[in-house]
Amino acid sequence: MNTLVIVLIAAVCLIAAYAFYGRWIARKWGIDPKAKTPAVVKNDGKDYVPTNGWTVFSHQFSSIAGAGPVTGAIQAAVFGWLPVLLWV
């Protein structure tokens, strides 16, 4: 199987899961978009600090982008590519 086919199938599955599963979870848990986050409610200037969304995104992205190529290759070597692809 061509790698591009696997990437396209995975992309379609992830987009569909984001759209449908995200909506289902939001309805099931009753998510309130106006609710205050713990960073606002428990703001102590040290552990809980309101932060710009782009800053939080960049920290999350750099953590995933930095560890992903290393851990993904190790997991694929141990378990094979299909279980790792299904896990993602």
Q: For residue 84, what are its two tokens?
A: 């790792």
C-alpha torsion 18→57→84→77, nearest 10: 170
Structurally, how many domains does the chain consist of? 1
The parent domain of residue 50 ranges over 3-87
What pLDDT is recorded for position 4? 93
pLDDT in tens, 7-17: 999 999 999 99
Mean pLDDT in residue range 62-84: 85
